[in-house]
Amino acid sequence: MPLFSYDLHLHSCLSPCADDENNPVDLVMLGALLGIQILALTDHNSGKNLPAFFAAAKQVKEEQGIPLLALGGMELTTAEEVHTLCLFENCEAALAFDRLVEAKLPNIDHRPEIFGRQLLVDEKGEECGEYPKLLIPAADISLYEVRPLVEDLGGICFPAHIDRSSYSLLANLGLFPTDCGFPCFEVADIAKAEELMRLGVVPSSLLPLSSSDAHRLEDLGSKQQKIELPELSAPALFAKLKGIL
């Protein structure tokens, strides 16, 4: 089977901790230029810049003829303050999840002078406002609730950067709860995945992933990981992540 390069963890200027210049359109254009074939936009607790992201991906495919798989996503902060990546095949499903999460976030006014701006971008790639609700806090959704909610919308989810010392599953819980049903996991350092599985911290049957977690344009492409798939499609990718392929 052919190998496809991927980056499943990208932040746009909507995430308060990302650069204002991290325009979702520029992320797509730069990703295509770097030859990354699978891209997922996963802003913190929101999917509101996904229409611009998908529009840019459509333009790249139709006008430039570049094969590219764009996925809608979100880096959800669960009630346990564990970052969890949630991926969807299309913009509609991702925005449905966005609405669900938005209703579960605490109603805290955003203060950009403290946390950074939360910029909204239209489908032309132009700034069109700022999201007023703080996107950093944990949503009222537990780790055990995430997978059913995501799968009901045809998506897939897994814990992010489990090897980090903050906002990670291992740091916050001290273990990998197999009864959550996560089919794979992300590590910030792919070299650590083998040791975690060898020590039994993470089930050896799960597929390890590693992405850039780009908060700046220059971060994109910093981790050129590849995945073996029969074809460049969301169903093929999700089947691989679930261990079906």
Domain CATH for 190: 3.20.20.140
pLDDT digit string, tens, across residues 212-221: 999 999 999 8
Domain count within the chain: 1
pLDDT for residue 224: 81
Chain-centroid distance of CA 214 in Å reads: 10
This prediction has a pTM of: 0.97
Is pLDDT above 90 for 5?
yes
For 144, other C-beta atoms within 10 Å of its C-beta total 14
Q: Which domain holds residue 88?
A: 3-241
**Where does the pLDDT of residue 188 fall: very low under 50, low under 70, confident under 90, or very high at 90 and above?**
very high
Average pLDDT over the chain reads 96
Q: Where are the beta strands (DSSP E) in the chain?
A: 3-10, 38-41, 69-77, 83-88, 119-121, 127-130, 156-159, 184-186, 207-209, 225-228
At residue 240, the 3 state secondary structure works out as helix
* CB-CB contact of 227 with 38 (8 Å): yes
Q: Distance (Å, rounded) from C-alpha 87 to C-alpha 99?
A: 15
Burial of 162 per CB tally in 10 Å (0-12, 13-18, 19+): buried
